[in-house]
A and B are shown apart, each in its own frame.
Chain A
Amino acid sequence: NAGVTQTPKFQVLKTGQSMTLQCAQDMNHEYMSWYRQDPGMGLRLIHYSVGAGITDQGEVPNGYNVSRSTTEDFPLRLLSAAPSQTSVYFCASSYFQGAYNEQFFGPGTRLTVL
């Protein structure tokens, strides 16, 4: 199993550009989520999905869109990048239910917006 994969690893954007961060998992997990990590702060939830076709907002959703057309993929879209979106982005997945639903994290995407 590849686990959770993210592409690209690094990205530099100019203000106003758009891009999609890709996330895929091969563990048949229902739950997938996107977090961002800023210096001096823990991870904060952006959006999450409990299954194909179902998404919802997390703590910091503004400026980001998501969709979930398959169980495996959960892309994160930045429609008009802003410097405040400079961050490290982590995708995670887990089984939806169960007391012990460890979240498996991808390796992260480091995004810089100039």
Chain B
Amino acid sequence: AQKITQTQPGMFVQEKEAVTLDCTYDTSDQSYGLFWYKQPSSGEMIFLIYQGSYDEQNATEGRYSLNFQKARKSANLVISASQLGDSAMYFCAMREDAGGTSYGKLTFGQGTILTVHP
């Protein structure tokens, strides 16, 4: 079974509108972390936001927020006020903390291509 599922291969949004990118995950660990990365056409991986499994509040970083629903095992990325520069591939990833130690191994979803229209 896939550990990280991103069901939206592509998403379109109008500039200045908000968009939600979906991510569901599967783990039996109690301690884990969830990450979102952005990959523009230039290819580099850019870290956006992190949510720990024990964090009680949803993570926010500027225009990015993470809608974390632990019981549903979902960690959706919300981008507010979309900009043309937000057009990119977005990856959700999970780190499972075996034995309470962060080994740093990430499992990635397949990604969602976001296109922002002017």
Q: List A residues at the B interface (Cβ < 8 Å).
A: 31, 33, 35, 40-45, 48, 50, 58-59, 88, 90, 92, 94, 96-105, 107-108, 110
A38 to chain B, nearest CB (A): 10
Tell me which residues across on chain B come within 8 A of A88, comparing CB atoms.
Answer: 43
Contact check, A102 vs B103: say whether CB atoms are below 8 A apart: no
Instruction: Give A93's nearest chain B residue, CB to CB.
Output: B104
What's the count of A-B pairs with C-beta under 8 Å?
71
Q: Mark B100-117, 1 if CB is under 8 A from A, else 0.
A: 011111111111000000
Tell me which residues across on chain A come within 8 A of B91, comparing CB atoms.
Answer: 42-43
The CA of A100 and the CA of B35, in the complex, are separated in Å by: 10
Tell me which residues across on chain B come within 8 A of A92, comparing CB atoms.
Answer: 45, 106
The CA of A97 and the CA of B110, in the complex, are separated in Å by: 26
Query: Can you identify 29 A-B contacts, CB atoms within 8 angstroms?
Result: A33-B105, A40-B110, A42-B93, A42-B109, A43-B45, A43-B106, A45-B106, A48-B105, A58-B105, A59-B107, A88-B43, A96-B101, A96-B104, A97-B101, A98-B102, A99-B33, A99-B52, A99-B102, A100-B33, A100-B52, A101-B102, A102-B35, A103-B35, A103-B47, A103-B104, A103-B106, A107-B44, A108-B43, A108-B44
